[in-house]
Amino acid sequence: MELSWGLSYEIVSREGLSPLERALLARAQAAAELAYAPYSGFPVGAAVRLKDGSIYTGNNQENLAYPSGLCAERVVLFQVGALRKAAEIEALAIYAPKVEVAFPCGACRQVMLEYEQMGEAPWALIFAGAAASVYRMKGISLLLPFHFVWKRS
């Protein structure tokens, strides 16, 4: 059996983003500045926009008792899950200033996928770093092929 899947994404300049996308990325950048990353020295910020236009942010939070810290993506997603409904999310931006572009780790991809599935629609995703261009795509599932899914009865 032959398996194949395509990864559809765009690499665009920051100026090529829509005003809503630029605003979301700016909030992720601001969140990265507040990251608590004294051990790795690798700050990351994330921002999500909900369907009503509100934006929530998070950043990585490290702890000497590794692996007790959390990535920026999970910090912001768990915050939205605790305060609102994850199904309300429509877009997510990730920013890390010390790499050309920031992509989520595997654990964050799984959390992102489950939260995205709650909303029954793929999110707009923006991945950015020190480079002048950003990666833009729709939906997290293509970044996590053969992902774990459990259908609750």
Q: Which residues are catalytic?
A: 73
Residue type, 127: F
Which phi and psi angles does 133 have, rounded to 5°? -105, 160
CA atoms within 13 A on the CB side of 68: 6
Parallel, antiparallel, or unpaired for β 9-13 and 55-59?
unpaired
**Six-digit token string for 28:** 């992720």
